Amino acid sequence: MFADFDFDVIIRSLPYLFYDGMTFTLMLTALATCGGIIFGTLLAMMRLSGAAPLSLLAAGYVNLMRSVPLVLVIFWFYFLVPFIGQWVTGASQPIQVGAFASSLVTFTLFEAAYFAEIMRAGIQSIPRGQVGAAQALGMTYLQTMGYIVLPQAFRNMLPVLLTQTIVLFQDTSLVYVLSITDFLGAASKVAQRDGRLVEMYLFAALVYFVISFVASLLVRGLQRRVAIIR
Amino acid sequence: MNYHWNWGIFFETSPDGVHTYLETLLLGTGWTLATALSAWCLALVMGSLVGVIRTTPNPWLVRLGNAYVELFRNIPLLVQMFLWYFVLPELLPTAAGDWLKQLPDASFYTAVVSLGFYTSARVAEQVRAGILSLARGQGWAALALGLTRTQAYLYVLLPMAYRVILPPLTSEFLNIIKNSAVALTIGLMELTARARAMQEFTFQVFEAFTAATVIYIVINIVVTFGMRWIERRTSVPGFIGAAPAAAATH
């Protein structure tokens, strides 16, 4: 069963797996999380703004993204981004977009829908009285949000936001469908080149498991320390 | 934009020579639903089992349940599918491995098993949270009435816990339908794979993906309303369950 298990193929491909593959995965995770949280917070603010068109637009976007599989969204944007780029830059041809840029746009826009729901819960967890007090002090909407509501909402939702980031980290493996060399893509390329599927996929699973598990333990530790302000 | 729209493409015959493109998409929808429903049965059974043993007083059973959940939750679904599809047959005795590889519709069975186990870890979390959300007196009252622990779970705790966790179970069910699209990587011709194939044959990217998106949205709406109907039908008058808090998903 494990008699001809070849550890050497893993060791030989470590630089490729981590330098080429894992760098891509982690960069994509980090940038998409930042972009997703920013855009998601905007969506949540739109949804709670009380202005019907804004709120409907945000709700429609979030519900659309949440009812479609990520794989389909990845395909959508892979073909759509060149046309969007053409429209934005006013070029005559659909522009060439690299694998990284395309996946970054996809994951930012897709995860923003999930981050928006988390931030909406966060904003709603702040008592209305605080908003009223801020307005009574003469603060504008942006000041109220920026100085009173959002800092507390972020703090309250930090564990959930980080857990969603772990989910996002695992989701980035789906860029495999575009034959991109992320961590899993790199493992898969070595596996197929050397005919070592068992070793490479078990090793990939182990690496994903260790990273996600350790990260989720850290989040749990943080959750105990960050008290919910009510 | 120099993209040539052609919505009539759906009524042209696809390369299989028999079905139109629209029909191939609907066949794909059938595979999506068949995969999701079969995997959901597995996920419910395994998730309930694991969720229940995590609430028992036996610390070793609790640890076993925790390990199960952590294992299936911390490996990406795509990697789990590869493990079941490419790695498992190699680790089994040669005869069993060959039998697995030659199974007709192997990708369907693999997708069901991997999706089922992946989702079961999430269901286990919900079932555990549901049982813990019940008043502790309910379990004790059942035991005091002379029910065995198994009976207490079957007749008292689980029926109430399922009602409490119906909303999060609904979103897990929606997730399993969406996650079945990952099975296109092991060759299952479900909805997303059919849309992708249609795009490759016809170059009508946006029509194909729009159709798939619309079908997914319709499934979503039908499931959401169906589950709300079940929620109303099964609700116990006077019992208002607090659903477990929202968590990171999909």
Q: Does B8 reside within a domain? A: no
B206 reaches A (C-beta below 8 A): yes
Nearest to B7 by CA among B216, B215, B204: B204
- Report ipTM (2 d.p.): 0.90
Nearest to B36 by CA among B182, B163, B134, B162: B182
DSSP, collapsed to helix, strand or coil, labels residue A67 as coil
Write the CATH number for B193. 1.10.3720.10
The full DSSP string for A90-136 is: T-SSPPP--HHHHHHHHHHHHHHHHHHHHHHHHHHTS-HHHHHHHHH
Which residue segments constitute the domains of chain A, with CATH numbers given? 7-225 (1.10.3720.10)
Half-sphere exposure (CA, 13 Å, Cβ side) for A19? 5
Q: Does B246 reside within a domain? A: no
Q: Does B81 reside within a domain? A: yes
What is the structure's pLDDT at A2?
63
Q: What is the mean pLDDT of each run of 10 residues along chain A (230 residues)?
A: 73 86 94 96 93 93 94 91 83 81 93 95 91 93 93 91 95 92 92 88 95 95 74
Q: Does B247 reside within a domain? A: no
Distances (CA, A) of B63 to A220, B5, B57, B60, B68: 17, 57, 11, 5, 9
Higher pLDDT, B180 or B205: B180
Given a cut of 60, is residue B247 above it in pLDDT?
no
Provide, as residue numbers in chain A, all residues whose Cβ is less than 8 Å from the Cβ of B90.
Answer: 197-198
Of A117, A164, A173, the CB nearest to B76: A173
- Predicted TM-score (pTM) of this structure: 0.90
Distances (CA, A) of A81 to A105, B3, B205: 8, 13, 13
Distances (CA, A) of A173 to A78, A207, A214, B84, B89: 15, 12, 18, 16, 23
- Contact between B141 and B195 under an 8 Å Cβ cutoff? The reply is no
Do B182 and A71 count as a contact with CB atoms less than 8 A apart?
Answer: yes
Nearest to A150 by CA among A227, A35, A38: A38
The count of structural domains within chain B is 1
Average the pLDDT over B70-99 and give the result.
91
What is the structure's pLDDT at B243?
47
Min Cα–Cα distance to chain B from A187, Å: 11
What is the structure's pLDDT at B244?
46
Looking at the DSSP bridge assignments, the partners of residue B20 are B13
What is the structure's pLDDT at B69?
96
Given a cut of 90, is residue B19 above it in pLDDT?
no
Do B79 and A174 count as a contact with CB atoms less than 8 A apart?
Answer: no
Domain containing residue B135:
16-234
**Rounded CA separation A83/A36 (Å):** 22
- Contact between A204 and A183 under an 8 Å Cβ cutoff? The reply is yes
pLDDT-derived band at B162, boundaries 50, 70, 90: very high
Given a cut of 70, is residue B184 above it in pLDDT?
yes
Min Cα–Cα distance to chain B from A140, Å: 31
Higher pLDDT, B198 or B18: B198
Given a cut of 50, is residue B242 above it in pLDDT?
no
- Contact between A62 and A43 under an 8 Å Cβ cutoff? The reply is yes
**Rounded CA separation B100/B85 (Å):** 9
Average the pLDDT over B42-70 and give the result.
95
What is the structure's pLDDT at A212?
96
What is the structure's pLDDT at B20?
85
What is the structure's pLDDT at B201?
86
Of A69, A83, A184, the CB nearest to B216: A69
- DSSP category for residue B17: S
Q: Does B245 reside within a domain? A: no
Average the pLDDT over B28-49 and give the result.
96
Distances (CA, A) of A145 to A42, A47, B155, B191, B192: 11, 14, 49, 42, 40
pLDDT-derived band at B157, boundaries 50, 70, 90: very high
Segment among A126-130, B74-78, B95-99 with least mean pLDDT? B95-99
B80 reaches A (C-beta below 8 A): yes
**Rounded CA separation B200/B21 (Å):** 12
Joined together, the tokens standing for residue B57 give 């007083």
User: Sign of torsion, CA B197 B198 B204 B209?
Assistant: negative
Average the pLDDT over B51-70 and give the result.
94
Higher pLDDT, B182 or A79: B182
Do B212 and A72 count as a contact with CB atoms less than 8 A apart?
Answer: yes
Do B249 and A167 count as a contact with CB atoms less than 8 A apart?
Answer: yes
Q: Does B130 reside within a domain? A: yes
Q: Does B11 reside within a domain? A: no
- H-only helix segments in A179-228: 183-194, 197-225
Residues near B17 by Cβ (< 8 Å), separated by ≥ 6?
Answer: none
Average the pLDDT over B74-79 and give the result.
96
